[in-house]
Amino acid sequence: MEIAGENLSRPTHFLGIGGIGMSALAHIMLERGKEVYGLDGKESQIIRDLQTKGARIFIGEEVHFDSTAQIVYSSSIKESHPARQAAKYLNCPVYHRSVCLSMLMEGKQSLLIAGTHGKTSTTALLSWVLSHAGLQPSYAVGGILRNIGKNGGHGTGPHFVAEADESDGSFLNYKGHYGIITNIEQEHMSYWKTEQALLEGFKSFASRVEKLLWCADDPSLQSLKLTGQSYGTSDEADWKLFDVYHENLEVVFSIAHDGQSFEKIRLPIMGAHQALNSTAVWAVACKLGLPEDKIRKAFLSFHGVHRRLEKKGEVRGIVVYDDYAHHPTEVAAILVALKQAMKDCHVKAIFQAHKYTRTRDCLHLFAAAFQSADDVYVTEIYSAGEQPIEGITGQVLAAAIPSSRFMTEDEILEDLKMTSKSGDVIVTIGAGSVTFLGPKILDIL
């Protein structure tokens, strides 16, 4: 049973507590002084960090709660899971992750960030700006803030910054005082089924926000004819981004609004797409009354998000980065960012597709996504628990990407050892196990 409105005072058991969304809520609950328990399939650094803060976490599927507990689950934990079945038998209160987050936001001024791409970076930056300004926000982010070392926190201030996830439609469980929509693209179609349903979902989310900012550069958002204010490079944007360039691996940009110009804003991360995300954050920060100098200082001190063009190391003039990008649009954005920021670098991209369904649905888009890379290695698809789909393999994907090569991870390491030279930039790309390849690359170099 799903019950809303209780105060989450019981001992809380998070199913899949090691997930990036669930662990954010666990951090918040712990910092509120609540009893936190958890269940997950494997150990991880996220789990170890939660245990250090006092969470009791069990590995496996064995049930470790009784009728006094309340249960929180994510969309990846199916109803057939033993713990959900036990909760039903014991008549425990059971909440979807989004319902729990909605309850945690009660009494706060919620600032919600939605969109197919960029919502994690945008949520993280807004959380950091408010934190740096001393406003002590609560926040739940789909990535680990490198400034803080975690993805969720409880603050005593009036604001709650949260990533609103459209992948399972759960962003419709929230109401926001402020909201940002970064873009809309056909993603997570196994849930939405049709483009029209996806657009209607975002339109419904927008209606649940009092003060909305949306990206004027996005055709799908333009088609929805939303109220509120817009941002972007478009001449029609209320908050207009212009004069974007890179300098010393920083993106520099300017924003014009209502006859006022904010020039040469600096953000110490790469990518014109990050300047676009930052324009939305700048607008919200201004609307909240933060002075320009405080916003500038917060931007300049922002270290980004774990696994978003994260530098893993450098050896012999060869730099290794890692990025979570798994959709063609995201892949293209980070490769363009590297080329723009690092000028004459030779980019070697190592890509692991994430899920068979996404690979199938986006196969025709991946061909253009790697145009900014000089060498492309494709390894086997990361299933993320999905069953294989006939005709959808790493080899098939490599064949669809011009000049790419399909290799195992060991073959990639051997090739990099033989061919890499000073001035090369190697970037591992994908939401799966490819992230662990970076340290191995540094070792063999």
**pLDDT value for 5:** 39
Note whether 278 and 328 are same-domain residues. Answer: no
Half-sphere exposure of residue 359, counting CA atoms within 13 Å on the CB side?
Answer: 31
Residue found under tokens 């201004």: 286
Among 300, 329, 346, which residue terminates a domain? 300
The verdict on residue 2 lying in a domain is no
Note whether 126 and 92 are same-domain residues. Answer: no
The verdict on residue 136 lying in a domain is yes
SS3 per-residue string spanning 239-272: EEEEEEEEECCEEEEEEEECCEEEEEEEECCCCH
Token pair of 245 as six digits: 């360039």
Residues 178, 210: contact at Cβ < 8 Å? yes
Among 81, 101, 121, which residue terminates a domain? 101
Specify which residues 354 forms β-bridges with.
382
In tens digits, what is the pLDDT along the chain, a chain of 445 residues? Answer: 343 435 678 899 999 999 999 999 999 999 999 999 999 988 899 999 999 999 999 998 888 899 999 999 988 888 999 999 999 999 999 999 999 999 999 999 999 999 999 999 999 999 999 999 999 999 999 999 999 999 999 999 999 999 999 988 899 999 999 999 999 998 777 889 899 999 999 999 999 999 999 999 999 999 999 999 999 999 999 999 999 999 988 999 999 999 999 999 999 999 899 999 999 999 999 999 999 999 999 999 999 998 888 999 999 999 999 999 999 999 999 999 999 888 889 999 999 999 999 999 899 899 899 999 999 999 999 998 889 999 999 999 999 999 899 999 999 999 999 999 999 999 999 988 999 999 999 999 9
Note whether 90 and 120 are same-domain residues. Answer: no
Note whether 280 and 373 are same-domain residues. Answer: no
Tally of structural domains, the chain: 3
The verdict on residue 3 lying in a domain is no
Q: Which of 305, 289, 268, 320 is nearest to 444 (CA)?
A: 320
Residues 232, 272: contact at Cβ < 8 Å? no
Note whether 143 and 80 are same-domain residues. Answer: no
Residues 251, 241: contact at Cβ < 8 Å? no
Note whether 87 and 112 are same-domain residues. Answer: no
Residues 152, 28: contact at Cβ < 8 Å? yes
Number of Cβ within 10 Å of residue 337's Cβ equals 23
Note whether 143 and 235 are same-domain residues. Answer: yes
DSSP H or E segment with residue 295? helix 292-300
How far is it, in rounded angstroms, from Cα 278 to Cα 126? Answer: 8
Token pair of 322 as six digits: 């890692």
How far is it, in rounded angstroms, from Cα 237 to Cα 445? Answer: 47
How far is it, in rounded angstroms, from Cα 352 to Cα 318? Answer: 21
Q: Which of 443, 271, 273, 437 is nearest to 350 (CA)?
A: 437
DSSP H or E segment with residue 436? none
**pLDDT value for 111:** 98
Among 248, 278, 300, which residue terminates a domain? 300
Q: Is the C-alpha dihedral spanning 435, 437, 441, 442 positive or negative?
A: positive
Q: Is the C-alpha dihedral spanning 323, 329, 335, 340 positive or negative?
A: negative
Note whether 403 and 278 are same-domain residues. Answer: no
Token pair of 97 as six digits: 């992750």
How far is it, in rounded angstroms, from Cα 1 to Cα 88? Answer: 7
Query: What's the CATH code of the domain at 439?
Result: 3.90.190.20
Cα–Cα distances in Å, from 141 out to 128, 219, 314? 11, 26, 28
Token pair of 162 as six digits: 């949260």
The verdict on residue 1 lying in a domain is no
Token pair of 426 as six digits: 């190697």
User: What is the extent of the structural domain holding 27?
Assistant: 12-101
Amino acid identity of residue 245, one-letter, is Y
Specify which residues 180 forms β-bridges with.
113, 213
The verdict on residue 405 lying in a domain is yes
The verdict on residue 7 lying in a domain is no
Query: What's the CATH code of the domain at 54?
Result: 3.40.50.720
Token pair of 357 as six digits: 């369904």
**pLDDT value for 7:** 63
Helices (H), 301-383: 328-342, 356-369
The verdict on residue 4 lying in a domain is no
3-state helix, strand, coil in the chain (%, to 5): 35, 25, 35
Cα–Cα distances in Å, from 172 out to 208, 246, 381? 8, 37, 31
How far is it, in rounded angstroms, from Cα 57 to Cα 360? Answer: 36
Note whether 215 and 352 are same-domain residues. Answer: no
Query: What's the CATH code of the domain at 173?
Result: 3.40.1190.10
How far is it, in rounded angstroms, from Cα 229 to Cα 240? Answer: 11
Note whether 110 and 168 are same-domain residues. Answer: yes
Residue 306: strand, helix, or coil: coil
Residue found under tokens 């105060």: 7
Residues 280, 180: contact at Cβ < 8 Å? yes
How far is it, in rounded angstroms, from Cα 425 to Cα 416? Answer: 11
Please enumerate in sequence order all residues whose Cβ is within 8 A of that of 106, keeping only pairs 6 or more positions apart, or say none.
none
SS3 per-residue string spanning 72-111: EECCCCCCCCHHHHHHHHHCCCEEEHHHHHHHHCCCCEEE
The verdict on residue 6 lying in a domain is no
Residues 428, 438: contact at Cβ < 8 Å? yes
Note whether 315 and 406 are same-domain residues. Answer: yes
Note whether 24 and 156 are same-domain residues. Answer: no
